């Protein structure tokens, strides 16, 4: 059992690393194509990559001879799958577009930490809209996150950078995306829903790309490396690794490991792009990472 947990922990750490480095790919991709074009192509690639995973998982299920559903249950499940995939795809398209536009105007490390605020925002939204009570640790985490955001984003003139503001909107949208996944995931196959959401996201991002960006096939080929990394590794491989890694793992521990994505984005931006943070910005990162960890720790008697 311990070997399995160690293996799963390493898989989740690899997932966090892939997602952290993906911020660099997204930043580099902007040198060649617009944000909507980048997201459209990477999402479609991510959906294509998941198709073999679906066939593999379906084959395993049939080999295990799981209990067959009635035609009515199958229809209900299919309806929920399509609805969930479309809803997730819409939110993913909005969130990833704001993130991609924001990365043009801010550093990779800052974008990674601001995006990670969804871990703090999700329980707050759940508290006010889903009647899921927040413990004292959540509110302390909120205070730490706000202090961290102040140090990371607010300049001496009390203004917020355009890129930071766009990524803040992205973090809020990702929070809604997580809540929608939380609602649909117990009812449907997670990998199939993710595949649908990637194709929906790709289609929705392609619409503004056609009307607002000058799409040149040569530019897309010039950005092949970051697009393939974001599509294959970040969307397809990392999502599959997350599903495998979270099996038989404590969800709190899994979330803590995955939240290292924000730290890895800073390291990746520094090593690969030479993007350095000031002492003030690093202090903000430390406070925000503390808030991320605190927001995921269990509270009360269950702890």
pLDDT tens digits, one per residue of 52-101: 888 887 776 665 655 566 777 788 888 999 999 999 999 999 999 999 99
CA angle 178, 71, 77 (to 5 degrees): 5
255 part of a folded domain: yes
140 part of a folded domain: yes
Task: Please report the pLDDT score of residue 303 as a whole number.
Answer: 44
Please give the distance of CA 239 from its chain centroid, rounded to a whole number. 9
Cβ neighbour number for residue 272 with a 10 Å cutoff: 15
Instruction: Give the pTM.
Output: 0.81
The token duo for 184 is 């649909």
d(CA 12, CA 84): 25
Task: Please report the pLDDT score of residue 37 as a whole number.
Answer: 94
65 part of a folded domain: no
- Domain range for residue 121? 3-58+75-296
23 part of a folded domain: yes
274 part of a folded domain: yes
Sequence-distant (≥ 6) Cβ neighbours of residue 238 within 8 angstroms: 15, 18, 19, 22
The token duo for 282 is 């690093």
Q: Determine contact, residues 114/152, Cβ cutoff 8 Å.
A: yes
133 part of a folded domain: yes
The token duo for 284 is 């903000």
d(CA 18, CA 242): 11
Task: Please report the pLDDT score of residue 154 as a whole number.
Answer: 67
Sequence-distant (≥ 6) Cβ neighbours of residue 202 within 8 angstroms: 39, 40, 41, 42, 43, 44, 46, 47
Cα torsion angle, 197, 220, 49, 268, sign:
negative
- Looking at the structure of the chain, the number of domains it has is 1
The token duo for 81 is 């799958």
Q: Which residues of the chain have pLDDT under 50?
A: 301-303
C-alpha Rg value of the chain to the nearest Å: 19
3-state helix vs strand vs coil in the chain, percent to 5: 80, 0, 20
Strands (E), 79-157: none
66 part of a folded domain: no
139 part of a folded domain: yes
């Amino acid at each position: 059992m311990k070997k399995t947990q160690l293996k799963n922990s390493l898989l989740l750490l690899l997932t966090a690393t892939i997602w952290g480095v993906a911020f660099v790919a997204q930043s580099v991709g902007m040198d060649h194509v617009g944000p909507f074009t980048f997201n459209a192509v990477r999402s479609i690639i991510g959906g294509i990559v998941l198709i073999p995973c679906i066939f593999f998982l379906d084959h395993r299920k049939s080999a295990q001879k799981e209990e067959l559903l009635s035609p009515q249950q199958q229809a209900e499940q299919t309806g929920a799958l399509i609805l969930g995939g479309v809803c997730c795809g819409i939110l993913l398209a909005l969130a990833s577009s704001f993130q991609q536009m924001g990365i043009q105007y801010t550093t990779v490390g800052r974008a990674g930490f601001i995006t990670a605020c969804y871990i703090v925002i999700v329980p707050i939204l759940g508290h006010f809209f889903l009647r899921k009570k927040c413990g004292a640790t959540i509110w302390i985490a909120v205070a730490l996150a706000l202090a961290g955001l102040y140090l990371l984003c607010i300049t001496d003139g009390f203004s917020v950078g355009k890129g930071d503001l766009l990524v803040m909107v992205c973090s809020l949208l990702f929070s809604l995306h997580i809540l929608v996944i939380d609602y649909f995931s117990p009812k449907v196959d997670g990998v199939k829903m993710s595949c649908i959401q990637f194709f929906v996201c790709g289609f929705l991002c392609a619409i503004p790309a056609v009307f607002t960006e000058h799409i040149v096939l040569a530019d897309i080929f010039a950005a092949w490396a970051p697009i393939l990394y974001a599509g294959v590794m970040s969307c397809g491989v990392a999502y599959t690794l997350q599903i495998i890694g979270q099996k038989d793992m404590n969800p709190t521990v899994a979330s803590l490991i995955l939240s290292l994505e924000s730290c890895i984005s800073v390291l990746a931006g520094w090593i690969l792009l030479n993007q350095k943070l000031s002492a003030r910005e690093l202090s903000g990162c430390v406070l925000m990472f503390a808030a991320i960890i605190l927001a995921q720790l269990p509270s009360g008697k269950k702890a």
